[in-house]
């Protein structure tokens, strides 16, 4: 894909060397930061987040099909999946986002997990031994560690009421993902 872009840019008479150099430099910096933060190698799932949670499952969890699914990640480093969801309301529609992020367990991740799990607002999640639910405004996150994977499962609604109405779907999604890992 980058090659096609670079070739078409060169065909228009422009130079693509600076853009390619910038992308390579940016990728190298990001990779160096991830390696530094990872601390030590842990087992990361071989599955893509979008393969672990299907669009049909999203429909079951939130009672509406996603309008868009966006995978992301770097093989062996992390994997994410974002689903855009639109709900019908009495006054029109409202949008929300469901998200799964899976990363290797690192020293930084463990510190973050420990600090947030001890928050007075953190709640235990049935069926997830080493995990918790934390809500802030219109966003809810279930975080857990399993089999060398640091996992965040999130729902971002348009309002705190959206979050409350979809907390059971978020919880079911996290529980199913926990079992899959």
Question: Region 129-156: what's the mean pLDDT?
Answer: 95
Residue 133 has pLDDT above 90, yes or no: yes
Q: How confident is the model at residue 45 (pLDDT cuts 50, 70, 90)?
A: confident
* Assigned domain for 63 exists: yes
Give yes or no: residues 31 and 67 share one domain. Answer: no
Give yes or no: residues 80 and 134 share one domain. Answer: yes
Residue 115 has pLDDT above 80, yes or no: yes
Give yes or no: residues 103 and 27 share one domain. Answer: no
Distance CA 75, CA 34 (A): 13
Looking at the 3D structure of the chain, how many domains does it have? 2
Give the model's pLDDT for residue 33.
Answer: 38
Distance CA 48, CA 129 (A): 23
Give the model's pLDDT for residue 162.
Answer: 87
Mean pLDDT of the chain: 80
Residue 90 per-residue DSSP state = T
Give yes or no: residues 122 and 95 share one domain. Answer: yes
* Assigned domain for 44 exists: no
* Assigned domain for 136 exists: yes
* Assigned domain for 115 exists: yes
Give yes or no: residues 53 and 24 share one domain. Answer: no
pLDDT in tens, 56-106: 999 999 999 999 999 998 887 899 999 999 988 888 888 999 999 999 898
Q: How confident is the model at residue 43 (pLDDT cuts 50, 70, 90)?
A: low
Q: Which string of DSSP letters, residue by residue, matches 28-69?
A: HHHHHHHHHHH-S-----SS-HHHHS-HHHHHHHHSS-EEEE
Give yes or no: residues 109 and 25 share one domain. Answer: no
Domain range spanning residue 168? 49-180
Does the predicted model carry a pTM greater than 0.85? no
Cα–Cα nearest to 78, from 150, 169, 175: 150
Give yes or no: residues 16 and 86 share one domain. Answer: no
């Amino acid at each position: 894909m980058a090659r096609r872009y670079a070739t078409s840019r060169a065909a228009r008479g422009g130079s693509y060397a600076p853009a390619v150099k910038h992308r390579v430099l940016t990728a190298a910096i990001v990779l160096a930061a991830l390696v530094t933060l990872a601390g030590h190698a842990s087992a990361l799932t071989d599955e893509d987040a979008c393969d672990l949670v299907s669009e049909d499952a999203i429909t079951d969890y939130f009672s509406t099909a996603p309008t868009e699914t966006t995978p992301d990640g770097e093989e062996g480093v992390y994997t994410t999946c974002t689903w855009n969801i639109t709900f019908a309301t009495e006054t029109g529609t409202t949008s929300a986002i469901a998200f799964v992020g899976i990363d290797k367990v690192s020293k930084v991740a463990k510190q973050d997990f420990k600090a947030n799990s001890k928050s007075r607002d953190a709640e235990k999640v049935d069926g997830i031994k080493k995990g918790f639910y934390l809500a802030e405004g219109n966003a809810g996150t279930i975080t857990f560690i399993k089999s060398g994977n640091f996992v965040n499962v999130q729902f971002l609604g348009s309002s705190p009421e959206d979050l409350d109405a979809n907390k059971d779907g978020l919880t079911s999604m996290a529980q199913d993902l926990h079992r899959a890992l």
